[in-house]
Amino acid sequence: MQKILERRKSRSRRALTLVETVMASMVMGIVVASTMSAAHIVLSGASSLEAKNNATNDLALAMLRLRNELRFALTITELTDKTISFTVFDIDGDDVDDILRYAWSGTTGDPLTRQINMDSPTTLVQNCTRFDLQADVGELKQNLGPAWSPETLIAAHDTCPNNYSQVLATLNTNHRRYLAQSFIPEASGATKCKITRARISLRVDSSGVDEELLVTIREANKYYSPAPTVLSQAIVPYADLPTSQQWCEVGFSNQPEIPTGSIICLVISGGATSDAHVGFNYLLSGSYDDGTTMFASNDAGVGWSPLGYQTIYDLRVYIYGHYDTNIGGTGVLLDGKVINMIVGLSAGEGREQASADAVVNCMNEPPIPGLNINDVQVRTTR
């Protein structure tokens, strides 16, 4: 009897069918795939969250630095919606105020940089996507000045009238003997001009002496000779001038506005111990008909006389500058001070992008005169 029961029991233990095996494998595969997918989502989310946290921290540190430095700005020397330069008290230990510059190109992905004085810019924020600057400006005053032409030739005295003979020669100038050339700036539609530079044919006896060449732009009197009023001047050391006759350029840093149609003089004087020699044109026949004259003075500019016949001598000079165009104006800030600076900053892309915005109170209310109103993003004024 016992043996019969054992045989029946052994017959009831049979293996899984093929269908059952396949179904079990499928279930197991689904479970494993779900587990792996869930793990990937968790890991990806953690990685994305870490990247966003890193971007947020970097942005917060950058904004903190900018706020702390901008809060104590003394003056603002450059300000657009993407760039700001300002002076602060000494931060590098040399007892001299320093200049800080924050700048972004405006191209998504380019870095936001920070620069101290003339050092190379350093990256402050990687992959920057936004850097906005606006200013609350108090006591705002602006001057809508004229728009100016590109630099152009205003006067030229190096040509010979057709069918006439010309001789090129030089005359010496020193601290007592002055040479001058009158000219009249004129351009269609223009009412004023600014003189920027002159090209002069000249040489010096010796470039090794401690002497200087003085070139001035002056008003002229009714006889076309130079008046005492100096509008602009340039000083050139003899060491910078050639000892053989060449064309030399002289730039004028001060560029006052001069009414067109007025008579102006270019005046040249040399050193006390060594002469300079200026080129001039001399017509053997005919005359210059431009209504201008070359003059010389032997008493340091007190008295002036035309050189020979007025219409046959001209200094060899080219004079350059700008004319007003009368086609609108550019706004220049005559006065104003920054009360607050509104700053916006973003970096990263998609879910990893981080942003920060702040209103920075400028404790010293730094002035911004001389900046172009079209560049400065003004939010409000008071």
Closest of 142, 151, 144, 192 to residue 329, by C-alpha: 144
Is the Cβ–Cβ distance between 107 and 292 less than 8 Å?
no
Which pLDDT score, from 0 to 100, does residue 94 have? 86
Closest of 191, 152, 180, 158 to residue 320, by C-alpha: 152
Q: Buried b / exposed e across 35-68, counting CB within 10 Å, b at 16+?
A: eeeeeeeeeeeeeeeeebeebbebbeebbeebbe
| SS3 (DSSP) at 28 | helix
Q: Is the pLDDT of residue 67 over 60?
A: yes
Distance CA 292, CA 288 (A): 8
Residue partners of 219: CB distance under 8 A and separation at least 6: 226, 227, 229, 231, 262, 263, 264, 265
Give the Å distances, CA to CA, from 149 to 178, 225, 252, 353: 32, 28, 17, 45
The domain locations on the chain are 2-52, 57-143+330-381, 159-315
Q: Is the pLDDT of residue 12 over 70?
A: no
CATH number belonging to domain 159-315: 2.60.120
Rounded to two decimals, the pTM is 0.51
How many CB atoms within 10 Å of residue 364?
16
Place of tokens 């920054």: 338
pLDDT in tens, 138-187: 776 665 556 788 899 999 877 655 545 556 677 888 889 999 999 999 98
| SS3 (DSSP) at 209 | coil
